[in-house]
Amino acid sequence: MTPNKNGTGARTTESIGDGAVMHALATRLFPINRSITGDGVRETLRIISEHLPELTMHEVSSGAKVLDWIVPPEWNVRDAFVLDPHGQKIIDFKVNNLHLVGYSEPVDRTVSLDELQEHLHSLPDQPDAIPYVTSYYERRWGFCVTEDQRSNITEKGDYTILIDSELNEDGHLTYGELIVEGASEEEVFLSTYICHPSMANNELSGPVVTTHLANWLLTEQRRYTYRIVFIPETIGAITYLSRNMDVMRERTIAGYNLTCVGDDRAYSFLPSRNGNTLSDQVALHVLGHSHPDFKHYTYLDRGSDERQYCAPGIDLPVASVMRTKYGRYAEYHTSLDDLTVVTPAGLGGAFDVLRRCLECIEANRRPRAAVLGEPQLGRRGLYPTLSTKKSAVGVRDMMNLIAYSDGDLSLLEIADHIGVPMWDLIPIVEKLENEEILTRT
């Protein structure tokens, strides 16, 4: 497989995780009108599956009971606009899908200026931003406009409202799933969401980076099995859990929720509810060594699908490694969260950190010294035979690794303890295992 003419192809090693390639995929997905159900989700998954043919699509009927929730009717929109008293189109869904409140019911009538105003949403503090507003679980209609736009809608008269939408009780909720089989049944879980219309960091960065991570995982046989889902946020996570949580609770050793992984302003970490799972330890280790100025949130700052995955009784080890966290950047949940907020460098940096997290999970083990006392490394060519004041410096990490290889501490814990990145120890532990100085447990 080679990159297609859009430059967004994958599975070729050189393009996996390439920021520009990921940005191009985000650009292609950007215009689609996604919501928690509907054809926008299907189209998004279809494009992703061009890059990830192993992805399977699943449909769950509207009305299905999922944990404490009901899958809502499927929503699709053909057109939506507002005409002013002169028949001029002053708000147009086709210009920006954020103009329509998500899940707006069908409307075809005229309203007064006053009634129109009750259905408009804008942000006085961000006068050039269209806000993102939804009403999934109560029937409403509305339009979102910039404050500047709204300030021009002052003329008394009849405004024509057309919302050519459908709320189909016989519809479906759609999600994508990919199981990458590893040597072990134990699983690592990756979740990202595909339910926001045209917004780039808080949406498209997640599925795009996840697509590339999945392709990277597929380049070779892995130790762990990977469960990767592209779902609508909240209702999709709940739906997926309602169908899979027993096996997930049994097998999942680590997991990440992928969201807001596209800007290049910061790195952020939000722990699992437990706070000390393998996912948490690995992410803190990787960020601590590669981006020590990362922002460390607490679970009280949560706001995405860890709310479901980490809920009491579900308790999956799911943390979030992000660039700038949702809700903590000005453009969040507005039309300003566009493809200038998300950059190739932003996507590439997030990919690198998350790939490193998965590499650490794959390489983690509890090394055990195979000899009692220090091994005689000199006769194996692993230690200088001339002893001077400085002999030990060059082999310090190796000696420290051996000194803590008690079969109880994990390689990650040893790396934390001796203060070096785990990825510096991986080649050393492999060499020592080959020399039968350490055994892998």
Q: Does 386 bind a copy of itself (CB under 8 A)?
A: yes
Tokens (6 digits) for 269 = 């970490």
Tokens (6 digits) for 322 = 């992000």
Q: Does 141 bind a copy of itself (CB under 8 A)?
A: no
DSSP state of 35: -
Q: Does 138 bind a copy of itself (CB under 8 A)?
A: yes
Measured CA to CA in angstroms, residue 122 lies from 27, 89, 142, 150 at distances of 26, 18, 11, 7
The torsion angles phi and psi of 424, rounded to 5 degrees, stand at: -75, -25
CA atoms within 13 A on the CB side of 334: 22
Binding string to a copy of itself for residues 342 to 371, with x set by CB under 8 A, is what? --------------------------xx-x
Q: Are 322 and 268 in contact (CB under 8 A)?
A: yes
Neighbour-count burial of 108, counting CB atoms closer than 10 A to its CB (0-12 exposed, 13-18 middle, 19+ buried):
exposed
Tokens (6 digits) for 388 = 């001077």
Of 218-237, which residues contact a copy of itself (CB under 8 A)?
234, 237
Q: Does 300 bind a copy of itself (CB under 8 A)?
A: yes
Among 28, 58, 140, 295, binds a copy of itself (CB under 8 A): 140
Q: Does 389 bind a copy of itself (CB under 8 A)?
A: yes
Q: Are 81 and 127 in contact (CB under 8 A)?
A: no
DSSP 185-243: S-EEEEEEE---SS-IIIIIHHHHHHHHHHHHHTTS--SSEEEEEEE-TTHHHHHHHHH
Nearest approach, Cβ of residue 281 and a copy of itself (Å)? 20
Query: Of 294 and 332, which CB lies nearer to a copy of itself in the complex structure?
Result: 332
Binding string to a copy of itself for residues 101 to 120, with x set by CB under 8 A, is what? -x------------------
Nearest approach, Cβ of residue 388 and a copy of itself (Å)? 5
DSSP state of 105: P
Which residues touch 280 (CB under 8 Å, ≥6 apart)? 271, 272, 274, 317, 319
Please choose, from the candidates 380, 358, 360, the residue with its C-alpha nearest in 3D space to the C-alpha of residue 371: 380
Tokens (6 digits) for 435 = 């020399």
Among 59, 394, 403, 424, binds a copy of itself (CB under 8 A): 403
The rounded distance, in Å, linking the Cα atoms of 213 and 308 is 23
Of 73-92, which residues contact a copy of itself (CB under 8 A)?
none
DSSP 189-201: EEEEE---SS-II
Q: Does 379 bind a copy of itself (CB under 8 A)?
A: yes
For CA atoms 82, 83, 84, 85, give the dihedral sign: negative
Among 7, 131, 288, 344, binds a copy of itself (CB under 8 A): 131
The rounded distance, in Å, linking the Cα atoms of 434 and 273 is 39
Q: Does 439 bind a copy of itself (CB under 8 A)?
A: no
Q: Does 69 bind a copy of itself (CB under 8 A)?
A: yes
Among 378, 394, 427, 440, binds a copy of itself (CB under 8 A): 378
Q: Does 387 bind a copy of itself (CB under 8 A)?
A: yes
Nearest approach, Cβ of residue 77 and a copy of itself (Å)? 17
Measured CA to CA in angstroms, residue 204 lies from 54, 232, 394 at distances of 20, 12, 45
Among 20, 314, 363, 395, binds a copy of itself (CB under 8 A): 314
Query: Of 68 and 293, which CB lies nearer to a copy of itself in the complex structure?
Result: 68
Q: Does 243 bind a copy of itself (CB under 8 A)?
A: no
Judged by CB under 8 A, the stretch of 156-164, 223-231, 280-288, 301-309 that binds a copy of itself is 301-309
Query: Of 153 and 399, which CB lies nearer to a copy of itself in the complex structure?
Result: 399
Binding residues for a copy of itself (CB under 8 A): 67-70, 102, 121, 131-138, 140, 234, 237-238, 241, 245, 273, 299-300, 302-303, 307-308, 310-315, 327, 332-333, 368-369, 371-376, 378-379, 385-389, 392, 399-400, 403-407, 418-419
